[in-house]
């Protein structure tokens, strides 16, 4: 049986993951409106992954006899000064999420909740990938330049991202 503290913290993390999905969907909408279809697609795939992350936590709470409680989501930003600014914001956001996950791992240790600890290890590894993906795009956009042909090539490259099976 999940403890009340762990249940509340994981419910909070479901909100964080869905807020991530919301943020990336908003970025996708922004890129689509600006005609950057490749980057819009990249963000859409990312938003889908975030929903899957939320569902992992959802299922864990249910499997451990707890109750899922969904919290309200704040509206995300809708505009970014440039593609580079958006991906920098995404990278910063992932660093924030990594901090949340590490906090949950520490709570699971304190609560002696080994099942939550084991489940959260997947997220620890995933966050290494999440930060790596976002920072690599930042690097790519810095190299390709913020306008013109370089950005068109980067957009095409980023559009090749497809949803991975977890
Ligand atoms: Fe769920 O990893 Fe990104 O936010």
Residue 102 sits in a domain whose CATH number is 1.20.1260.10
Q: Which two tokens stand for residue 64?
A: 């451990």
**How many domains is the chain partitioned into structurally?**
1
Is residue 154 in some structural domain? Answer: yes
Residues 13-17: contacts with CB under 8 Å, at least 24 apart: 13/57, 13/100, 13/101, 13/104, 14/54, 14/57, 14/58, 14/61, 14/68, 14/70, 14/71, 15/70, 15/71, 15/73, 16/97, 16/100, 17/50, 17/51, 17/53, 17/54, 17/57, 17/97
Residue whose CA lies nearest to ligand 1 atom number 1: 50
Taking the centre of ligand 1 as the mean of its atom positions, its distance from the CA of residue 30, in whole angstroms, is 19
* Residue at 166 is within a domain: no
Full residue range of the structural domain in which residue 81 is found: 4-158
pLDDT tier at 164, thresholds 50, 70, 90: low
Report yes or no on 12 lying in a domain.
yes
Per-residue pLDDT at 165: 54
The proportion of the chain whose per-residue pLDDT surpasses 90, expressed as a percent, equals 93
Please list every protein residue whose CB sits less than 6 Å from any atom of ligand 1. 17, 20, 50, 53, 94, 97, 130
pLDDT at 133: 96
Cα 136 to averaged position of ligand 1 atoms, centre (Å) = 16
State mean pLDDT over 114-142: 97
Give per-residue pLDDT as tens, 80-124: 999 999 999 999 999 999 999 999 999 999 999 999 999 999 999
165 within domain boundaries: no
């Amino acid at each position: 049986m999940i403890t009340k503290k762990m249940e509340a913290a994981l419910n909070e993390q479901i909100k964080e993951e869905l807020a991530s999905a919301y943020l990336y969907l908003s970025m996708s909408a922004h890129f689509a409106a600006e005609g950057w279809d490749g980057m819009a697609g990249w963000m859409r795939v990312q938003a889908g992954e975030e929903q899957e992350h939320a569902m992992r936590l959802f299922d864990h709470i249910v499997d451990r006899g707890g109750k899922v409680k969904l919290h309200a989501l704040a509206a995300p930003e809708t505009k970014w000064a440039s593609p580079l600014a958006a991906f920098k914001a995404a990278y910063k956001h992932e660093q924030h999420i990594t901090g949340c996950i590490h906090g949950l791992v520490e709570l699971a240790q304190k609560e002696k909740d080994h099942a939550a600890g084991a489940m959260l290890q997947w997220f620890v590894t995933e966050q290494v990938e999440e930060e790596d993906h976002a920072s690599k795009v930042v690097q790519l956009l810095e190299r390709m330049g913020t306008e013109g042909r370089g950005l068109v090539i980067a957009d095409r490259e980023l559009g090749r991202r497809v949803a991975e099976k977890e």
